[in-house]
Amino acid sequence: MKRYFKLFIVFFILIALDILIKSYVYHNIPKMSFMHPFFPYGGIGVFKDFFGVSFSIVYVENTGAAWGLFSKYPTLLFVIRSIIVMGLVIYLGFFNKDGRKDMPLVLIITGAMGNIIDFIFYKKVIDMFHFNFWGYSYPIFNLADSMITIGIIWLFFRFFKKDKNKKI
């Protein structure tokens, strides 16, 4: 039970942070104009041309999945995301015996829930982090997307990392 309590704390802190950031952006930053996608026209500049990298906080609405994929099917995406989250929660709670997978799974679940909550309240996902790498405008994303990505990469490394205690 102690194991799950820590996971709940992490979940609630991260989901609250995601909700607060998105709410702030939604209520305080003008929606980004794609005619002027870079700050100062497209949001709040955090840094510009730091070794060729620029970063700004913007407000963009996304009705699809990553990079706007499947944006014509928002309800289907909502259902698929919900099923995946339920499956991961069931797996984490009842079938996962490897505690090393707990945190990556919580990150994935929290990120997916953050985007599901957006769909429930806004009928779209609020994205805000905009990087420009040496002239390439990276697709705009949010904290929930970052949690999902970090969780998947973490799981990937867990999957391929050899267990030193296991005998061959």
Average pLDDT over residues 74-91: 93
CA distance 4 to 103: 10
* 127 within 8 A of 56, measured Cβ to Cβ: no
Residues with catalytic annotation? 127, 145
For the chain, the average pLDDT equals 87
Q: Where are the alpha helices (DSSP H) in 69-164?
A: 74-90, 102-122, 143-160
Average pLDDT over residues 61-66: 82
Whole-number pLDDT of residue 11? 97
- The DSSP annotation for 7-37 comes to HHHHHHHHHHHHHHHHHHHHHHSPPPPTTS-
Whole-number pLDDT of residue 152? 96
The distance in angstroms from the start CA to the end CA of the chain is 32
pTM beyond 0.75, yes or no: yes
pLDDT band, residue 84 (cuts 50/70/90): very high
